[in-house]
Amino acid sequence: LTVSWSVVLVIGLFGIMLPLLRRMRQRTSGTSRRVCVLVLGDIGRSPRMRYHSLSLSKHGFNVTFVGFVETKPPEDLLKEDKIKIVPIREMKALLRGPKILTYATKVVFQCLQLLSVLMRMELQSHILMQNPPGLPSISVAWFVSILRGSRLIIDWHNYGYSIMALSHGQGHPVVRLAERYEHFFGPLATHSLCVTNAMKADLQNNWGIRATTLYDRPASFFRETPLEVQHELFLKLANTHPQFQSSISELEEKNLEKTAFTVRDFTHDTVTRRPKRPALLISSTSWTEDEDFSVLLKALEEYEGFVRGGASLPSLVCVITGKGPQKDHYRRLIASLHLQHVNICTPWLEAEDYPVLLGSADLGVCHTSSSGLDLPMKVVDMFGCCLPVCAIHFSCLHELVKHEENGLIFRDFQELAEQLKSLLSEFPSSESKLGMFRRNLRISRGQCWDDNWDQIVLPLITSS
């Protein structure tokens, strides 16, 4: 009798669930033109997923972009009718107690929140998600795709467990669990994208995942900035950052408007660069554990020593942009330095100002990643602006940075300091090595994001 009632109960539950499941998977005429783009991070600081969304919308897809909204999303997203931003909440601190309990509670909350958001939205033909962070978004997205008949695409930017290992250590139980988690759920996706051929090989050999390499390409708005636009940006930044202001010892001349780098002559309506301006160095970061900015700061201290020792070098204005958990730590570290010829500022730029500043800079600096298998998006954007870089060495960097052709590769802070000294010794001459790198970048500036995406990703979306 007990068995009979159990069978009846199972049949009854199945009878109730089957219509619900059919309803959840019921496709309409518009389903094939709907795609969910998912990132468990700030939408405003997720450029690659933002570019995915814009490319999809350009091809007539209705995009539901799910992520945190910590900063104002860029205007190109907000003004696009076919992109709907669905915010999710990040829980930074849920309770007091052991870290493992806090973290577990946070993961459970995010699971429930993602399930609620993904299950309530209209049926999507595809869920295109970023990893990392993939805990818990990969498992939730996979589960929803199974329930609703959507296809899951994972875009591998890096490995989440390798980033966690930087702060917890490779042998930490949470890191080992995160690695097993990614190894288990990663292969369950319908398709996978990745950012380098080195990561493609690693995913194939060690994870059993057949991924397609989609190199990052600069969006069309990453380009060299006209001098007049540079001047306007420098004026804007000078309101909050004295590093961009002209020297207070200068006598302001009538009909002249000056910044530390440029001069506008209202009489002739012209903008020119100042002949003895400082060099503008830029680096971008999310201020996380996988970017050790002490390397750059030590190199800047060495550069300061070169100038004090009598080397003929320009002063430096070093701009480090971005937001993140390590920012306050490094700001305190910067404040403790005693630099006279190097000025460092750490602004948070509006999305529209960031490419303008890149296109106005003289040199970019970049650091490595946790896995050594991804290419830094910041360098891609810099190259779009024809901005030469100094980048720290890791195994697949040669896929992007060509040493002595479009930039230099360094291994430690001493080597970076020597490279800064070498590149800026003839500043601001356009005939210097720095000028040669910029000319090479102008010649080699290749495919933009749109063309690259159309060739690689669009067929995945439309053929399945």
Q: Residues 278-444: name the CATH superfamily.
A: Glycogen Phosphorylase B; (3.40.50.2000)
Helices then strands, counting H and E runs in the chain, come out as: 17, 16
What distance in Å separates the CA atoms of residue 354 and residue 352, rounded to the nearest whole number? 6
Interval 396-410: pLDDT, tens: 888 888 999 999 999
| pLDDT computed for residue 5 by the predictor | 61
Q: What is the phi/psi pair of residue 61, to 5°?
A: -85, 145
Give the range among 22-36, 108-122, 351-365 with minimum mean pLDDT: 22-36
Does 334 have pLDDT greater than 80? yes
Q: Name the token pair of 145.
A: 């795709």
Over range 69-84, report the average pLDDT: 91
DSSP state of 1: -
Distance CA 464, CA 461 (A): 6
Sheet holding 191-194, edge to edge: 83-87, 62-68, 34-42, 126-131, 151-156, 191-194, 212-213
Q: Convert 187-226 to b/e letters by CB count within 10 Å (16 or more is b).
A: ebbebbbbbbebbbebbeeebebebeebbbbbbebbbbbe
pLDDT digits (tens, 9 = 90+) for 446-457: 778 888 899 999
Lay out the sheet containing 262-265: strands in order across.
256-258, 262-265, 270-273
Q: Which of 121-135, 167-181, 205-219 has the lowest mean pLDDT?
A: 167-181
CA separation for the pair 212, 456 (Å, rounded): 8
Mean pLDDT on 132-138: 91
What pTM value is reported for the model? Answer: 0.77
Residues 294-308, mean pLDDT to the nearest whole number? 93
Cα distances (angstroms) measured from residue 235 to each of 260, 261, 385: 9, 10, 21
> What is the number of other CB atoms lying within 10 angstroms of the CB of residue 167?
13
Angle at 279 between CA 274 and CA 283, to 5 degrees: 140
Same fold, 54-68+78-91+101-217+447-463 and 278-444: yes
Selection from 371, 358, 294 nearest residue 321 by Cα? 358
Confidence of residue 1 (pLDDT cuts 50, 70, 90): very low
Average the pLDDT over each of 169-178, 195-204, 273-282 and give the range with the smallest value.
169-178
pLDDT band at 298 (very low <50, low <70, confident <90, very high): very high
Q: What kind of fold does domain 54-68+78-91+101-217+447-463 have according to CATH?
A: Rossmann fold (3.40.50)
Domain boundaries, the chain: 54-68+78-91+101-217+447-463, 278-444
Mean predicted lDDT score pLDDT of the chain: 88
According to DSSP, the β-strands at 62-68 and 34-42 are parallel
Q: At what angle do helices 413-424 and 433-444 cross, to 10 degrees?
A: 90
Residue type for position 359: G
Report which of residues 195 and 447 the model is more confident about: 195
Q: Which two tokens stand for residue 319?
A: 């701009």
Which is higher by pLDDT, 157 or 92? 157
> What is the phi/psi pair of residue 315, to 5°?
-65, 160
Question: What is the spatial distance between Cα 368 and Cα 396, in angstroms, rounded to a whole number?
Answer: 10
Distance CA 316, CA 310 (A): 15
Question: Exposed/middle/buried for 89, CB within 10 Å: 0-12, 13-18, 19+?
Answer: exposed
Q: Cβ–Cβ contacts within 10 Å for residue 443, how many?
A: 9
